[in-house]
Amino acid sequence: MGLLTGSSSFRRFRTVQSLPPDFRDTFVDGVNRYAFRENLGHRAKEPLVGWVNIFDPGDADFTLNSLLYDHYITLSMRADKKTVNARLLQILLERRYREVMNERHVDRLGKQHRAEIKEALEEELLSKALPAVNTYDVAWDINTGEVFVFATSDAVIDYVHGLLHDTFGLIIHPERMVDWLAERWDWDTIEARVDAWIPGGVAERKVPDDVDGWHTGNPLKGREYRLGAEFLTWLWHESEAHDGYFRLTEPSLAPVAAENVDEAADNGGEAAESGGKAPESAPGTTPGGSLEPVVPPPAEARGSLGTGTVDTGKDEEITLWLDNKVIFRELDDGDVPGVTTMVGESPSASPEAKLTFRSGKQPVEARVGFQRGMHQWYLTIALGPIGIELKNLKLPVEVKEGDEERVYERMYLLEVLTTTMKTLFRQFFANRTSADWPGRFEDWLGQETPPV
């Protein structure tokens, strides 16, 4: 999977380290020092890893022009891993045991001796085996500190993390949902709204605010999974309520009233979670800076969106829909939660989907499509240990020629996708931490929303 393929999955990381003054020369030297070196006689089970050209896995000779594209450092980690067929190993091992016993005229071999024979045989077979070759692309935006790693396996991520550190001295941190909020609001504001409206969790505030420039606290810790499920529910509801139209407006947050904090504390957070009707909003306002109802504009006024830079400096509109797969899960059912998977054409629009939600199951994964201008993106929004994960991307356009053009296009399309998702999440957070949230889905469902 990779940056340049038609469909891909990735994880996002961040670094706050500054670039050294001579980073161009330093980085080229570092990449060549840790470039991939083929060794077909490699006998270890652990893979051989190193950097290769993102366009050619056989090219491990780097210049500045082959790794730096404007403000993106793009590399591919190649991992050659050898394995031995387990069945073949067992057959040959039994044969080797018999040969050794015959040579030594014994009826059995000790445990230590058998282990030594097995290890020697495995090394012998590994030296003759051909490796499986995999590549994992990495794109580092040296202007923003964002790092895309096109892999989802924890083991692969560990290798990439180590190689980045050895090569550049780079320390990367997984991007968290709270980091999306911190791009817009200060940490005190985020913590105040979480305390007032989102109960539970184990908010990390008894740690230093910053370690080497990285904010280590996380007000959402312990709440990410449930909050991610609520975000998917919100997307589902808003898409149906407004015919798929969303305005990409950065919300503003009104100060948290002291009575809201006190009420949430007195009721264990029930003020934010109750099934009662939301209070009336002041005329002409949207509670908590939440998204205004979107009225689809006339066709002649819609124009072409998604062109130019990602941040256009003005509100844009997208059409978003839940596509062909939704997975619902019980969040509080112990070790064996109930899971319902719905597939087909627009399964979220079926009566069964709302019945499933009423039964207490919440969406934890959904295939989502959105259109911005003339282009369409598809992705899977899934929930992981630290919250929202974006997977199985299908980007709208693919340039066939020109290395620089391909990198620029793919990174631009990825930035549009991630910027869109972050803006929508901030809109959701503004609504979730306001008086507009309780009872929001009652009319939509036709009865009281199950507790969340």
pLDDT at 287 (0 to 100): 36
Q: pLDDT digit string (tens) for 283-306?
A: 233 333 333 333 333 433 322 222
Tokens standing for 13?
A: 């990381």
For residue 140, give the DSSP letter: E
Range(s) of the domain holding residue 108? 86-128
For residue 217, being part of any structural domain is answered with no
pLDDT at 202 (0 to 100): 61
Instruction: Write out the DSSP string of 77-93.
Output: EEEEE----HHHHHHHH
122 and 39 assigned to the same domain: no
Task: Identify the CA nearest to 42 among candidates 116, 115, 110, 133.
Answer: 133
427 and 358 assigned to the same domain: yes
Alpha helices in 276-345 (DSSP H): 299-302
275 and 348 assigned to the same domain: yes
Number of domains in the chain: 3
18 and 99 assigned to the same domain: no
134 and 272 assigned to the same domain: no
Q: pLDDT digit string (tens) for 355-382?
A: 999 888 999 999 999 999 889 999 999 9
Show which of 95, 128, 161 is a domain's final residue.
128
Q: State the average pLDDT for the chain.
A: 81
% pLDDT > 70, the chain: 80
pLDDT band at 311 (very low <50, low <70, confident <90, very high): very low
* Range of weakest confidence among 18-27, 109-118, 399-408: 399-408
Task: Over range 94-104, report the average pLDDT.
Answer: 91
Q: For 257-395, where are the E strands, in sequence order?
A: 316-330, 339-343, 361-372, 375-384, 387-394
For residue 182, being part of any structural domain is answered with no
Task: Identify the CA nearest to 377 among candidates 2, 7, 3.
Answer: 7
Show which of 114, 147, 174 is a domain's final residue.
174
116 and 150 assigned to the same domain: no
What is the distance between the alpha carbons of residues 1 and 7, in angstroms, rounded to a whole number?
8
pLDDT at 421 (0 to 100): 95
Scan for tokens 């991520």, then name that residue.
Answer: 157
For residue 193, being part of any structural domain is answered with no
337 and 428 assigned to the same domain: yes
Instruction: Write out the DSSP string of 29-76.
Output: HHHHHTB----TT---SSPEEEEEBTTBTT-----GGGTEETTEEEEE
Instruction: Write out the DSSP string of 387-437.
Output: EEEEEEEE-S----S-HHHHHHHHHHHHHHHHHHHHHHHHHHHHHHTSTTS
For residue 73, being part of any structural domain is answered with yes
Residue 49 phi, psi dihedral angles, 5° rounding: -130, 150
77 and 154 assigned to the same domain: yes
Confirm if 137 and 76 have CB atoms less than 8 A apart: yes
Range with top average pLDDT, 311-315, 424-428, 434-438: 424-428
pLDDT tops 70 at residue 6: no
For residue 433, being part of any structural domain is answered with yes
Q: pLDDT digit string (tens) for 167-223?
A: 999 999 999 999 999 999 988 889 889 988 887 766 555 555 666 667 888 888 888
Q: Please measure the distance between the N-terminal and C-terminal CA atoms of the chain and give it in whole angstroms.
A: 36
What is the distance between the alpha carbons of residues 54 and 69, in angstroms, rounded to a whole number?
12
135 and 113 assigned to the same domain: no
16 and 110 assigned to the same domain: no
